[in-house]
Amino acid sequence: MKIATKIFYYTLIIFLMAWILPSLYNFLFYQPNSIANYKYSPITKNFVHWEYTDGQSLYLDSENNHYNQDQYDSLLPVTYYFILQSKNKAIDSLEGYSIDRMSIGMGMASGSGGPRNINTPHLGVKEIMESTKYRLALQDPTQVFRFTKNSMEIINKRDNKIDTLKTRLFTDAFNEAGIQWPVLRSSGSPSSRKSYDFGYIILDSNNEVYHMMQVHGKPYVRKTSVTPDMGIDLISMREPMNKEYLGYLLGNNSLSLLMANKDYTTTKLDFPLNMHKENFWIMGNMLYWTVTVARDDSFDLYAINAHTYKTVLHEHHERPVMKYTKTLKWVFPFTVNFQRKTDRWIYPSFANFSWYALILNLLLSGLLVFIQRKRKDTNYGMSIITIFFGLFSFVPALFIKENS
């Protein structure tokens, strides 16, 4: 039993040190490695960005040309329209399209996602709202729904009771549309703070996509043109101002738009994206979308024509490896993390295994033997353990005295 208590005690301490010490190291030596805000310029036909370096703002393009802030604003006439307008430098058309307040508002596009959005706990209930406006505005949702193995249940928020009539109506509507239960995913934006509501996009277990709305209290369910061979496994409702498309469909290393037409056709964007491993964000306007696809060691920029949805420019950039991550492998044999960039779950995971730390481990082990001999402590077990665990066992061994 004494041995069991010792084993557990030291195991717990080493485990906690493997979590705390690398966290402390990151906290002390962290260097930011974020990606600058790149945008496609329709004037220079390349990507421009600004960065803050050595206490000053730099405005650059892909060919490393430097601009001042006024020039930079002019390179992005849609993004900085209102600033340019205040200086009487705004242009009223570009590439045959009129640039004004209305067209800018209608043409905005945005979106982002990554593994963290997929690997996240879900509540299990979502709000459902009436898609038609009441007196010129949408109303806050008063009901929620959940998908069961073979139905959609609607619950009133007021009394926490199932609305059996609506439950039957919506379930029947899904069955008529040909849904394959159970539903895998659903995506919507149930907020009254928007100009219109497109309801939800639903992904069933046959990887087919449906569009669902509540119209005058009744279900509107339509099957889209998405087929199982497209391999769609992720969906995201966007509801852009121009109502051209419903949202994004992700699967088979690609991103497609689910168009808001009668046949719910899809338009595939021609750049690769695997949201299970990569983060992406889209900043778009009426002329071009700038898509950034980021990984730990590199990122890609794509300029997408907002009308044809074709890629007009692609750039690949490597991300510099920060000094502190380079030195991490020499210091710690591994690290324990409870949180990761790829999910929202809390559980311990082991990462950053490194043989390079063996050198430091051996040095620390020798130092520990020396210290223990000075202390006349004959328990050399920790010195042996330090060969494998390095600083994680060295630091506690310095302070813990088994026999005082």
Using CB under 8 A as the criterion, which residues of the chain lie in contact with another protein when the complex forms? 1-2, 4-6, 8-9, 12-13, 16, 19-20, 120-125, 127, 140, 142, 144, 146, 155, 157-160, 338-339, 344-348, 396, 399-401, 403-404
CB of 154 to another protein, least distance (A): 11
In sequence order, the 6+-apart residues with CB closer than 8 A to the CB of 333 are: 353, 354, 357, 358, 361, 388, 389, 390, 392
CB 332, CB 352: distance < 8 Å: yes
Neighbours of 303 (CB within 10 A): 26
CA end-to-end distance (rounded Å), the chain:
21
In sequence order, the 6+-apart residues with CB closer than 8 A to the CB of 312 are: 40, 288, 303, 304, 305
Q: Which is nearer to another protein, 19 or 309 (CB)?
A: 19
Rounded to whole angstroms, the maximal C-alpha distance in the chain is 86
Q: Which is nearer to another protein, 158 or 374 (CB)?
A: 158
CB of 184 to another protein, least distance (A): 17
In sequence order, the 6+-apart residues with CB closer than 8 A to the CB of 87 are: 70
Q: Which is nearer to another protein, 28 or 346 (CB)?
A: 346
CB of 221 to another protein, least distance (A): 22
In sequence order, the 6+-apart residues with CB closer than 8 A to the CB of 325 are: none
Q: Which is nearer to another protein, 202 or 306 (CB)?
A: 202
Q: Which is nearer to another protein, 34 or 160 (CB)?
A: 160
378 by Cβ neighbours in 10 Å (0-12 / 13-18 / 19+) ranks as: exposed
The residue to which tokens 């490597």 are assigned: 318
Neighbours of 186 (CB within 10 A): 21
* Dihedrals phi, psi of 237, to nearest 5 degrees: -75, 135
Q: Which is nearer to another protein, 8 or 330 (CB)?
A: 8
CB of 236 to another protein, least distance (A): 18
CB of 257 to another protein, least distance (A): 27
Q: Which is nearer to another protein, 264 or 392 (CB)?
A: 392
Q: Which is nearer to another protein, 53 or 160 (CB)?
A: 160
Nearest to 112 by CA among 196, 238, 211: 238
Q: Which residues of 215-246 are buried (b: 16+ CB within 10 A; e: fewer)?
A: eeeebebebbebeeebebbbbbbbbbbeebbb
Neighbours of 282 (CB within 10 A): 20
Token couple for 27: 């906290």
Q: Which is nearer to another protein, 125 or 312 (CB)?
A: 125
CB of 90 to another protein, least distance (A): 38
Element (H, E) at 389: helix 381-389
